[in-house]
């Protein structure tokens, strides 16, 4: 029918708008970020997969390869062709993840106008804010989507990523960076609601510390 055809065309248009030039998996200590990045590639969301990251607070002294290289191994085991994966192995923070990934893409002649960023769930807003500030070129005409492993809060802790207490400390640290980093020129400013600040203060008073 005409209605069905119109809806089908609308769906195809929406999918085309969501398809990206590259999926960038930002390094961390959670291999589920690598798995999510690889799964998106295998589903056809972008023709390139880029992993970025050297070693950070959670992986230094534990992993003997860069986070990007560890993520690469995960993706290959899942079936992603090696020749469709790019590596950036020097970044030690989120700003460098963004800037250095741009340089890797530029060095390979890849013009990324549509980008999918993958990180841990509690990092989504920080990653987005950092990208909008630190992507080196034509931010106004670059469309970015941030996603993460679809895991609820209570299921997220594991032997690999740590306990719930550790997760809460990480979340507090991310909130502090969202609050403080715009003044340091690291990311755009975002509104933090009073409810979020009240929750932050409650955890601090309860003895939790931000990491």
pLDDT over 50 at 16, yes or no? no
For residues 117-140, give the mean pLDDT. 92
pLDDT over 70 at 3, yes or no? no
Residue 186 placed within a domain: no
Residue 172 placed within a domain: no
Give the burial class of 88: count Cβ atoms within 10 A of its Cβ; 0-12 exposed, 13-18 middle, 19 or more buried. buried
Least confident window among 109-113, 136-140, 148-152, 205-209:
136-140
**Torsion on CA atoms 35, 186, 63, 67, rounded to nearest 10:** 40
Q: What is the residue-averaged pLDDT of the chain?
A: 90
- Quick one: DSSP state of residue 71? H
Residue 171 placed within a domain: no
* pLDDT of the residue at 60: 78
Residue 80 placed within a domain: yes
The predicted-structure confidence for 30-83, as pLDDT tens digits, reads as follows 999 999 999 999 999 999 999 999 987 777 778 889 999 999 999 999 999 999
For residue 87, the enclosing domain spans 2-151
Please give the Cα distance from 73 to 86 (Å, whole number). Answer: 12
C-beta separation of 143 from 171 below 8 A: no
Residue 195 placed within a domain: no
The total of structural domains in the chain comes to: 1
For the record, the structure tokens of 186 come out as: 């690291």
The predicted-structure confidence for 98-111, as pLDDT tens digits, reads as follows 999 999 999 999 99
* pLDDT of the residue at 159: 85
Distances (CA, A) of 114 to 51, 110, 142, 166: 16, 11, 6, 34
Phi and psi, residue 118, nearest 5°: -125, 125
Residue 167 placed within a domain: no
Residue 175 placed within a domain: no
pLDDT over 80 at 122, yes or no? yes
* pLDDT of the residue at 85: 98
Q: Across the strands, what pairs with 44?
A: none
Angle of CA points 94, 60, 84, to nearest 5°: 60
Please give the Cα distance from 30 to 55 (Å, whole number). Answer: 12
Q: Which residue has the tokens 């106004």?
A: 140
No. of helices (H) and no. of strands (E), the chain: 7, 5
C-beta separation of 156 from 168 below 8 A: no
CATH code, 123? 3.40.50.620
Element (H, E) at 52: strand 49-52
- Quick one: DSSP state of residue 88? E
Q: Which residue has the tokens 């990480």?
A: 170
C-beta separation of 116 from 41 below 8 A: no
Residue 33 placed within a domain: yes
C-beta separation of 88 from 104 below 8 A: yes
């Amino acid at each position: 029918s005409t209605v069905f055809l119109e809806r089908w065309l609308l769906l195809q248009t929406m999918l085309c708008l969501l398809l990206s030039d590259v999926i960038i998996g930002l390094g961390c200590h959670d291999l589920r970020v690598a798995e999510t990045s690889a799964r998106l590639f295998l589903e056809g969301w972008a023709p390139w997969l880029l992993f970025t990251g050297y070693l950070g607070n959670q992986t230094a002294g534990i992993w003997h390869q860069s986070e990007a290289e560890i993520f690469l191994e995960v993706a290959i085991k899942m079936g992603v062709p090696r020749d469709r994966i790019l590596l950036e192995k020097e970044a030690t923070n989120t700003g460098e993840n963004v800037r250095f990934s741009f340089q890797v893409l530029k060095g390979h002649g890849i013009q990324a106008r549509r980008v999918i960023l993958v990180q841990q769930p509690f990092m989504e807003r920080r990653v987005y804010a950092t990208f909008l500030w630190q992507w080196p070129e034509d931010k106004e005409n670059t469309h970015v989507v941030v996603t993460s492993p679809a895991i609820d809060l209570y299921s997220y802790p594991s032997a690999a990523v740590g306990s719930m207490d550790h997760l809460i400390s990480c979340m507090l640290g991310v909130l502090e960076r969202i609050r403080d980093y715009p003044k340091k020129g690291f990311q755009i400013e975002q509104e933090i609601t009073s409810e979020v600040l009240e929750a932050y203060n409650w955890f601090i008073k309860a003895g939790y510390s931000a990491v």
